[in-house]
Amino acid sequence: MFAGVAVFGAATVAFGLSRSLGLSLVALAILGGADMLSVFIRQTLVQLMTPDAMRGRVAAVSGLFISASNELGEFESGVVARFLGPVGAALFGGVGALAVTGLWAGLFPALRKADRLE
């Protein structure tokens, strides 16, 4: 799970630093794929790890938070772009994703194994 988010962050940084259309397109393709993989893993974990009696409610709350985070993320990106410019905003987002991934991997070691079939 963390690998997908880290790839997302690294691809965002690559996109922010790119001055080539081809490299930008490759970075965006990787970024989108990593994001979709992360979403797939999170949704699967909700289905597998939530008790049957709570699954619908947990899925609904998860969907609500995902939708809200998208809206808040768009607002944050706009504010950061206003102050740092579009390249700075992309770099800030990519480095932030990498930093939070590392922090969460350290704070919640059980999550590092959550997406493995063991």
- Report the interhelical angle of 2-17 vs 21-49 (nearest 10°): 160
**pLDDT, average across residues 97-118:** 82
In a domain, 100, yes or no: yes
- Please indicate, yes or no, if residue 55 is contained in any of the structural domains: yes
Say how far apart CA 39 and CA 52 lie, in whole Å. Answer: 21
Residue 19 lies in a domain: yes
What is the tally of structural domains in the chain?
Answer: 1
In a domain, 23, yes or no: yes
Judged by phi (left if over 0) then psi (alpha if -120 to 50, else beta), residue 5 lies in alpha
Establish if 16 belongs to a structural domain: yes
In the prediction, which pLDDT does 42 show? 84
Q: What average pLDDT does the structure give for the chain?
A: 90
Is 118 strand, coil or helix?
Answer: coil
At residue 1 the predicted structure's pLDDT band, cuts being 50, 70 and 90, is low
| Contacts for 48-56: CB closer than 8 Å, 24+ residues apart | 49/114
Task: Look up the pTM and report it.
Answer: 0.83
Domain carrying residue 18: 2-113
Residue found by looking up tokens 């939070």 in the block: 100
Contact 18, 93 (CB under 8 A): no
On whether residue 101 sits in a domain, the answer given is: yes
**15 assigned to some structural domain:** yes
- Percent of the chain, pLDDT > 90? 60
Does 118 reside within a domain?
no
